Chain A
Amino acid sequence: MPKWTMIEAIRDALAIALRDDPRVLVFGEDVGKNGGVFRATDGLQAEFGEARVVDTPLAEKAIVGTAVGLAMAGMKPVAEIQFLGFAYEAMDQIAAQLARIRFRTQGRFTAPAVIRAPYGGGVRTPELHSDSLEALFAHTPGLVVVTPSRPYDAKGLLLSAIRSPDPVIFLEPIRLYRAFREEVPEGDYEVPLGRAAVRREGSDVTLVAWGPTVPVAESAAVQVASKGISCEVIDLRTLAPLDRSALKASVEKTGRAVIVHEAVRYAGLGAEMAASIMDLAFYHLRAPIERVAGLDTPYPPAALEDAWLPSVTRVVEAIERVMED
């Protein structure tokens, strides 16, 4: 089995989908001849032709808006927004159009498009290249919001997303694109949407993370293990709709939860997770739920991002606080 980075796994998923289904087409800014600014579509245009791997004009709203029309007309568009911060340009088409076609038409039409976008910090980018906007999409009924944290999942989740009957916002952590390699099967396989994964089993504290903060939570779990604290790490993978049973099972066991995400804390998904845990496992809780998140400022310039982002140290401190109670 080959050992691949996440970006190689994503490219492979796109190639399989293009080969598997003639309705699939991949498009966005620089995805064709250039193979994508991160090389997620490297070589795909050469293999599948200019009609199916398409460089579009530089217009995010049009990229998402045409994906809506293509999907309504029976195609399977996989559109790329080059960086998630530029999805603001397309918010009407994402939140007011793409998400609502099924509901608006009461099932007469659907728009099962996939919108891929790199996101998250830690790689010293210019402004608007590192923002985590997942809460905006999770707050929009009709969208499935997915984010992988490792190559195996990236490929299997993306194939599931492309075959999903619902529109999927597929968020790819830039920091993890080339962070490590793992064995990825060469053939076609799916990782189911809507299911979290337990990355590490533990009995004292549940760490809830997704995308770029999964390795942060895992590192914190390793650090506190030496002090005799046993952490369970849940990788949510799908942020909407939520895998309630995974949260419930873990917190019923541990009685403590620390939620770790890069997006700003106020009205972030951590608040929703905390509320869900209260609903699902209140009488098992032994300590207040902690959130470790980005600061409530716009994403800062690169020189400040290490201080802004959730660090292993801050997660360890949160774990120690919930263990004190």
Chain B
Amino acid sequence: MQVYRFTGDTKPDQVLNEAGEVVGSLPDNAVDLALEWYPFMIFCRKFDERAQLLQRQGRIGTYAPFRGQEASQIGSFAVLRPSDWVFPTYRELAGMMYHGLEPVHALLKSRGHPDAGRMPEGLHMAPVQIAIAAQILHAVGAGWACKLRQADDVAVAYFGDGATSEGDFHEGMNFASVMRLPVVFFCQNNQYAISVPVERQTASPTIAQKAIAYGVEGLRVDGNDVFAVYQAMRYAVDRARRGEGPTLIEAVTYRLGPHTTADDPGRYREAADVERWAAAKDPLVRLRLWLTRQGLWDDARQAACEEEAEARVRQAVAEMEAYPHKPLAEAARHVYAEVPEDLALDLAERGKEAR
């Protein structure tokens, strides 16, 4: 009797350990990358903190913080080019801004503005998905289109650990593998789906190993190590561009903030646990330690960088508050290619309210 069991190593791949020491293989241009990434990570951290405050002040609505997941997002988006297809969730704003979404635009979703989903021209990036895992299948479809066009573009689905319990994840992995599509399934395992820990989502020791059942390659990396994420993503994207099919990446990370501004994590997790991750595994701290070791960073640079980031966030907030209102009658033009008669009449009857 042959019994199938997973016996692989579950330790996530690292390039930098928690002390910022090199324990794996750095990318060739590590210094240039780090000097681009680290200031952007600082900006994202400031943005995230400010967005939470804006919600508390009633200036925006519900916001989903990404604090702690900057390395997973920036390290993976850094591999993509504008013609690749990206399907993010509501917690991917750091990556999306790195990819070219203007910070003001990143605030519009929480502002409840209809233009939040009108993504920039020139980028094949979908707006944030709210239904858990639904975007995974869209990425598979877009990857299918890339393959049919014989372009070497790829499609990437971003999702969290909770999404791996949804049917869309399993249908998408299976479909992409059967059709050998250029798709990267990028899972940020941030340990919690709102209040439910990953142990209640899956009984398998890792998410990465789920790849095996679908005939997909799986990688498990330290999601707070930006170099490890980058290397894994490069491996997956290169495979996809070469026509070798899909890859599942599990980036092991931690959601330092609440699920959203409407959530109280004190109800379901210990403050000490959060502290442990924040103290020892913060992705920003790790990259700064490495940069400092290289003699490329110091307190003065840090202070200047933070100041610049804060100014940029202030600018984005000012732009958000000045962003012109879009009336219902205008938003309603985009339900069908042409406004149906019934809808046009209804809007006309609403009169001023809709304008």
Q: Which residues of A does B touch, CB under 8 Å?
A: 25, 51, 54, 56-57, 59, 61-62, 64-75, 77, 92-93, 96-97, 102-110, 141-142, 144, 164-166, 194, 241-242, 244
Contacts and interface: CB of A to CB of B under 8 A. Distances in A.
A105 B119 contact: yes
Contacts of A57: 171, 174-175, 178
Nearest to B132: A92
Given A57-B175, A104-B117, A108-B118, 7 more contacts: A59-B174, A62-B172, A65-B171, A68-B137, A70-B145, A102-B334, A103-B335
Contacts of A104: 117, 127
B274 interface: no
B140 A69 contact: yes
B142 A62 contact: no
Interface in B149-193: 155, 167-168, 171-172, 174-175, 178-179
Interface string B90-119: 000000000000000000000000110111
A141 B332 CA distance: 10
A73 B83 CA distance: 10
28 contacts: A57-B178, A61-B168, A62-B168, A66-B137, A66-B140, A66-B141, A67-B141, A68-B138, A69-B139, A69-B144, A70-B141, A70-B144, A73-B142, A73-B145, A92-B134, A92-B168, A93-B134, A102-B336, A103-B331, A104-B127, A105-B117, A105-B119, A108-B117, A108-B119, A108-B121, A110-B337, A241-B336, A242-B340
Nearest to A54: B179
Contacts of B138: 65-66, 68-69, 72, 97
A64 B171 CA distance: 11
B142 A70 contact: yes
A62 B175 contact: yes
Contacts of A241: 336, 340-343
B134 A96 contact: yes
Contacts of B174: 57, 59, 62
A246 B155 CA distance: 45
A61 B137 contact: yes
Nearest to B326: A106
Nearest to B136: A65
B99 to A, nearest CB: 15
Chain B CB count within 10 A is highest, among A74, A93, A105, A244, for: A105
Contacts of B137: 61-62, 64-66, 68-69, 93
A105 B137 CA distance: 18
Given A57-B174, A66-B144, A73 B124 contact: yes
A64 B172 CA distance: 11
A263 to B, nearest CB: 20
A47 to B, nearest CB: 17
B337 A59 contact: no
B43 interface: no
B66 interface: no
Contact of A51 (B87, B146, B148): B148
In the A-B complex, the 8 residue pairs with the closest CB atoms:
A69-B141, A65-B137, A241-B340, A66-B141, A73-B145, A165-B337, A69-B138, A62-B171
Interface string B316-355: 0000000000000001011111001111000000000000
A69 B334 CA distance: 19
A74 B142 CA distance: 9
B114 A106 contact: yes
Contacts of A102: 334-337
B213 interface: no
